[in-house]
Each structure stands twice: as C-alpha cells, then as structure tokens.
Amino acid sequence: MREPVIRGAGLVTSLAYAAVVAWLYATQPQTVAQVTGGFASIVGAYTVDPQAMADGLTFFRRDQFVEARAALSRADPAERDPRAQFYIAYAYYRQGWGRLYNDDALFAKGLSAIDKAIAAAPGGRLVVEDPALQMHSADELRAELQRGITREWSDFNPMRVFRARK
C-alpha cells in the first residue's frame, strides 16, 4: 500500500519539477522577483503595488521619467503587469524623443518594455484610457518606438523639427 503512494507522489513531484524547469527555460527570468511573480501570475495571484503605481503615474505626468520608471518597476517587480510595462515604455519614449534625433538606446529599452506589456496583456491587446496620453494602444506605441530606431530617408527631412512628441 505504501509503495504506490510513494510512486504516485514521486511522479507528481517529478512532473511538477520538470514543468518548473521547462518554464524557467522558456521565460528566462533574471531575478527572484520575476520567478516568484511568474509563479504568482500563473495561479492568478499576482498584483502590482498600488501605492508605487500611483507614485509612478504622478512622476510620469510631471515628466520625471527616471523616477517614474523606478516607481513603476517597484510596483511591478516581476514585469507581469501590462499597464505598468506600458507606462514604462511610454516613459522611455518621452524621455528618448528628440526634435532633431531620438535616443536609440532609450527607444530600444522602450521597445523591450512594450513587448513585455503586449506579452502580458490578454490576447496581446492593450488599450490604456488615459487622457494625458496621445497613444492609447500598445500597438501604436510599439510602432512609434520601432519607427524611432529605424533609419530611413524621412529622418533627413528638415520639417521633422516641427513634429510633436506624442
């Protein structure tokens, strides 16, 4: 009677451990927070820190983008919340935007963040209804960031200096 119990428990444990190993290989988490957050989100128990999120949005609206990203990263340590990642990407966009040229490094980080937001959003669709923003969907923001780091002839158009930051 005892042997089947051991075998059954062993099988369940082994399969669960194998699933964890496969998940780690697939998602490549870099921090303990990402690991724990990933497991929490699998069981639907992951939540962002509301206070840090509010701080991040306040900083964002004051154009304090570095502070905004710090607070939003604190709110979403596992990088699993699409809204927080959207605002992080938007902060990279606004900080990196330039009338003459964009900061490619910041735009690339923004692209990475918006990809995380899209990956975390249900069905990959994310729309943020915020009147302070001019791009509300993750697709628009992603395309804008992608355009910003792509070299093309229109980059040399002198009329570019009249364009506005979104």
Closest approach of other proteins to the CB of residue 16, in Å: 10
Separation CA 130–CA 102 (nearest Å): 24
Q: Which CB sits closer to other proteins, 25 or 153?
A: 25
Kindly state the tokens that stand for 53.
């999120």
Q: Which CB sits closer to other proteins, 3 or 152?
A: 3
Q: Which CB sits closer to other proteins, 18 or 66?
A: 18
Separation CA 41–CA 12 (nearest Å): 21
**Encoded amino acid at 89, one letter:** A
Separation CA 115–CA 27 (nearest Å): 13
**For residue 137, what are the β-bridge partners?**
127
Closest approach of other proteins to the CB of residue 20, in Å: 9
Do 37 and 48 touch, CB atoms closer than 8 A? Answer: no
Q: Which CB sits closer to other proteins, 16 or 66?
A: 16
- By CB under 8 A, name the binding residues for other proteins: 3-4, 6-11, 13-15, 17-18, 21, 24-25, 28, 30
Separation CA 95–CA 66 (nearest Å): 8
Closest approach of other proteins to the CB of residue 36, in Å: 15
Closest approach of other proteins to the CB of residue 27, in Å: 9
